[in-house]
A and B are shown apart, each in its own frame.
Chain A
Amino acid sequence: MESKQIAAIVVIVVIIGAIAVVGFMFIPTAPYGAVKIGQLVTPGAPAGTDSDHIVVVGILDPMTEIQGEGAWYGSYLACDEINTAGGITVGGETYYFGLISEDTSEADTDLDISKGTAAATKIITEDNAQFLLGGFRTESLLAYVETVMDEDMIFIDTGASTDSFCQNVIDDYARYKYFFRAMPINSTSLASSLLRYILYLDGYLTAVTGANITKVAIIREALDWTAGMDLFLNGYLPLYGMEVVADVAYPITAEATDFATYWSQIDAAGAQITIPIISAQGGILMMTQYAQAQPGCVLAGIDVMSQLDSYWGETGGGCAYEVVLQSTLRTNKTTKTVAFWDAFLNHYNSEPLYTAVGSYDAMYMYAQAIESAQSFVSDDVVTAMEGFTRASPFIGAGGRVAWTLGHDLLESPDYSYTLFCQWQDDGTKQCVSSGGLIYPDSIVTASLQLPQWTGWSINP
C-alpha cells in the first residue's frame, strides 16, 4: 500500500461520504409510513409520550422487499389508528404503540439464515421490542423463531404458511405457545380450498361449455412446498372423476422460452383446467406466455405474484382470466375489510399485500389482547390471545380469527378463508363465486369470465 493509494482511498471515501450527505439532504420528505429500519416510530402517539408508555412492537421481515414493506405498511396504519383513537389502557394508564423493524433479508434468492437470527437477536436485545410480528420465508423463520421462543416473546406470523410452525405449538406447548399465525391460512387448508374450488369449477365449466371437463394439468415450481400440494391434488382429483394429464414441475430459474414449451406440452395433452402452484416470478412468464399461446384451458390456482396490483401492468394484461387464491380483496369479508382496504389505498396508493392485512390484524390483536389481559407479560397476553375462539372470534380485516389447537387460523366459511379472485379483461381483479363451498356467495363481486379471445374454445 503506497501512500498514494491510501490518499486515493481517503479521497474516494470522502467523495462518497459527501455524496451521501448531499443526497440525504435532498431526499424528499418521507411519505406516509415510509419504512424505517432499527428506528422506533410512534405514529399517532401524542408528542412527548415518555418511553415507558410506548409498547414496542417489532417487525421481523425482509424489509427491503415487498413482503416486509407490506408488513410495515399494514402495522403502521394500524398503529396510527390505535394511537389516534387514544391508545390502550392498562391498569388505568394509557399506553401507545410504537413500531421498530429489523431486516431479516429472508426474501433474498441467496438466503443467509444467519441474518435472520441476528435480526431477531437485535430486535429483542437492542431494540427492546416487547411483541413481535412478521415472518415470510419458512426456512429462515424456522431458524429465528427459535431465538424468539428462547426469550418467551410472542410472535404473530403474518406471512409463512407452512403447517409445521403450528404443529410445534401442539407438540411442545410450553415452548412454542408464543407462536400465532394471523396470515395466511396454512398450506393444508390452501390445498383443500384449491381442490374444492377446482371441483366447483369443473361443474361450472361443464354446465357453461357443454364439454365434458375431466382433464387437468398442474404447473408448479419444483420445490418442496408445491410437491405436497401436487401429491394432494394427484391423490384426490381422480376420486372426483378428473384426470391429471400433465404435471409440469419446473425449476424456479425457468424463463420465457421454457414457459412456451410448458404451454405447448400442456395444450398438447388436452388439458381443460390448468392449476398453477407458483410463488416466484415464474407467474409473470406463465401468464404472458398463456396470453400468447392461448391454450384451450382455463387457469385457476396459486400464483403469489398475481396478488400484486401491479401484476396487470407487469404482464401487459397477459394475466387476464387467471383465477388465483388471494386472502383479501375489497369485499365484505368482515365489517372491517372494506374500510381497511380504502384507508390503505388512500395512504399508500397501492393495494395491500397479504402480509399487510396480516400485520394490520396482528396489531389490533395485540391491542385487544393486552387490554383484556391488563398486562404486558407474554404468558398473560398468550392467555388473552387464546380467548379468540369459535364463540368469540377476533374480527380482523382479513377474516374472523378463531385459533385451532396449534394457534393456527381456523379455516371455514364462517371464520378464515381464502378468496378466489379473477383478473377480468377490463384489468380489475374481482372475487368470483366458489359456489358457496369456500366462502358465502354474498361477498362475490363479479361472475367468472372465460377467455374472450377470438376462436378460443376449451379443449374437447
Chain B
Amino acid sequence: MIEEILIYGMVQGSLLALLALGFSLVYGVGGILNLAHGAFYLITAYLIYWILPYFIFIDNYLLRFGITAAISLVIAVVISAVTYLGLMEPLKESHIGIVLITFALAFFFEQFVKFVGDPKTHFIIPFVPGTVTFLGVTFPAQLVALVVGSLILVTLVTLFINRSTIGKSIRAVSQDFEAAQLVGINTNMILMATVMISALLIGFAAVLYAPGNFIRPNMGWRYLLLAFSVTIFGGMGSIPGSIAGSFIMGYATTITDFLISPTFSVIIPIVVILVMLLVRPQGLLGKKELY
C-alpha cells in the first residue's frame, strides 16, 4: 500500500507540476488569470491525435510520435502567442476582461475541436509500451516517461527563470511591473514569452500524459481547474510554491484514492484548498501582498 501511494502520488504530482507551473508564472508576471490554460492541453492533445496518421509511413512509433509531438507543440505555442497578442494584450488592464476573454477562448477551442473533429472520446496509443514493476507495484511504463519528463522540464524552466536574461526579466516584471518598464524591459514581450512558456509546459503535459489516456473536447476545463487549485494552494505566482503544491496535492489525491475511497478524490483536494484559503489565504509560499 505504501509503495503504491508513493509511486502514484509521484505520478500525480509530476502531472500537476507541469499543469500548474505555467499558470502560476503567467499570473505572477502579468496578473493574467488565464482560463484558457487548459485549452492548450486540449489543442496539443488533439493536434497529436490528428497529425499522427499523416506520419503513418514512419514505422517506428516512438519516432513518429516524437515528430508529431514536436509539430503539435510548435503549433500550440504559436497559437498561444497569437491569442496573447490579439486578445489578451489589449484587455490586460481589466481583470474581469481577461477572465472573460480567456474563458471565451477556452470555450471556443472546445467547440472548435468538437466541430473539426467529433464529440467522441478518443485514445492515443502510449509511446512507451508495456508495464514496469517497481517496488513490487506494476504500472504503465508511460507514467515513467511522465515523471521523468516532468522532472526534467520543471528543472529546466526553473533554471531558465533563474539564470537566463529573459528569465531574469520575467522575474523583474513579476516583482515590480512599473520599475521593470522603467529600466527598459519590454514588458509586453516578456508577458508574451511567459504565456508561450506556459503553453509549452502544459503542451508537454499533453504530450506525456494524453497518450494512454482518453481525450475529449471538454477535457481542458479539468486541467484548468487542477492548475488553478494547485496554484492557489502553492501561492499565486510562486514557482517553488507551485511545485511543492503539486506534489502535496498529488499525494493527497492518491492517499484519498487508496485509503478512503476514489469517490472522494475529487472533493478532498477542493476541501484541502478551501481550508488552505481560510487558514493561509496567500498559499503555501505566496507573497503576502498578492492576496
A-B interaction:
yes
Taking Cβ atoms with an 8 Å cutoff, the residues of A that contact B are 64-66, 107-110, 222, 248-251, 253-258, 260-262, 264-265, 281, 284-285, 288-289, 292-293, 305, 310, 314-316
B112-143 interface (Cβ within 8 A of A): 114, 119-123, 125, 130-131, 137-140, 142-143
- Residues of B with C-beta under 8 A to A289: 140
Main SS class of interface, B: mixed
Q: Name which of B28-36, B65-73, B196-204, B209-217 contacts chain A.
A: B209-217
| Cβ–Cβ < 8 Å partners of B142 in chain A | 256
For B257, give its contact among A108, A261, A310 (CB under 8 Å). A261
Closest Cβ–Cβ distance, residue B221 to chain A (whole Å): 8
In contact, B263 and A251 (Cβ under 8 angstroms): yes
Q: B83 interface residue, CB < 8 Å from A?
A: no
- A selection of 9 A-B contacts at a CB cut-off of 8 Å is A66-B120, A248-B262, A253-B266, A254-B262, A254-B265, A256-B209, A257-B15, A289-B140, A314-B121
B11 at the interface (CB under 8 A from A): yes
Interface digits, B244-272 against A, CB 8 Å rule (1 contact, 0 not)? 00000000001001100111011000000
Min CB distance, A248 to chain B, in Å?
6
Report if A253-B121 is in contact (Cβ < 8 Å); known contacts: A261-B8, A284-B214, A292-B130: no
Instruction: Say yes or no: A260 contacts B121, CB within 8 Å.
Output: no
User: When the two chains form their complex, are residues A260 and B143 in contact, meaning their CB atoms are under 8 A apart?
Assistant: yes
**B213 proximity list for chain A (CB < 8 A):** 255-256, 285
A249–B263 touching, CB < 8 Å: yes
Contacts of A265 in B (CB 8 A): 258
Contact A65 B119 (CB under 8 A): yes
Q: Chain B interface: which size bin?
A: 35 or more
Interface residues of B in 82-134 (CB under 8 A from A): 114, 119-123, 125, 130-131
Residues of B within 8 A of A316 (CB): 123, 125
Given A257-B12, A284-B123, CB of A110 within 8 Å of CB of B212: no
Known: A281-B121, A285-B213, A292-B140. A110 touches B222 (CB 8 A): no
B266→A251 contact, CB < 8 A: yes
The reply to whether B257 and A281 form a contact with Cβ atoms under 8 Å apart is: no
Q: Mark B213-231, 1 if CB is under 8 A from A, else 0.
A: 1101010001000000000
Q: Which of B8, B114, B263 contacts A222 (CB 8 A)?
A: B263
Report the separation of the CA atoms of residues A262 and B125 in the bound assembly, to the nearest whole angstrom. Answer: 20
Contacts A110-B218, A261-B4, A292-B131 given: A249-B261 contact, CB under 8 Å?
A: yes
Q: Closest residue to B250 on the A side, CB-wise?
A: A257
Chain B contacts with A in 4-45, Cβ cutoff 8 A: 4, 8, 11-12, 15
The smallest C-beta distance from B272 to any residue of chain A, in angstroms, reads 15
Q: Which residues of chain A have C-beta atoms less than 8 A from B218's C-beta?
A: 108-110
13 new A-B contacts, CB < 8 A, other than A264-B137, A316-B125, are A64-B119, A249-B261, A251-B262, A256-B209, A257-B11, A257-B143, A260-B8, A261-B4, A261-B258, A262-B262, A284-B214, A285-B214, A288-B212
**Residue of A whose beta carbon sits closest to that of B139:** A260
Given the complex, which residues of B lie within 8 Å of A109, measured CB to CB? 218
Q: Please indicate the chain B residues that have their CB under 8 angstroms from the CB of A285 in the complex.
A: 213-214
Assuming the contacts A251-B265, A260-B139, A264-B138, asked whether A305 and B212 have C-beta atoms less than 8 A apart, the reply is: no
**In the complex, are the beta carbons of B265 and A264 less than 8 A apart?**
no
Q: Give min CB distance, B175 to chain A, whole Å.
A: 34
Q: Would you call B119 and A66 a contact (CB within 8 A)?
A: yes
Is A253 within 8 A of B263, CB to CB? no
Cα(A255)–Cα(B121), bound, Å: 13
Measured in the bound complex, the distance between the Cα atoms of B263 and A254 in whole Å is 10
Q: Is the CB of B137 within 8 A of A256?
A: no
CB neighbours (8 Å) of A257 from chain B are 8, 11-12, 15, 139, 143
Nearest opposing residue in chain B for A282, CB measure:
B214
- Shortest distance between the CB of A36 and any CB in chain B (Å): 17
A353 to B81, CA, bound (A): 42
Residues in A with CB closer than 8 Å to B216 are 281
Q: Which residues of A contact B11 (CB under 8 A)?
A: 257
- Docked-complex contact B262 and A258, CB < 8 angstroms: yes
| Residues of chain A within 8 A of B139, CB atoms compared | 257, 260, 264, 293
Contact of A305 among B119, B121, B125, B265 (CB under 8 A): B121
Taken together as a complex, chains A and B put the C-alpha atoms of A255 and B146 apart, in Å, by 14
A65, A260, A284 pick with most chain B CB within 10 angstroms: A260
Residues of A within 8 A of B123 (CB): 284, 288, 314-316
Q: How far is the CA of A61 from the CA of B221 in the complex (A)?
A: 25
* Minimum CB distance partner of A255 in chain B: B213
Which residues of A are found within 8 Å of B212, using beta-carbon distances?
256, 288
Question: In angstroms, how far is the closest chain B Cβ from the Cβ of A63?
Answer: 11
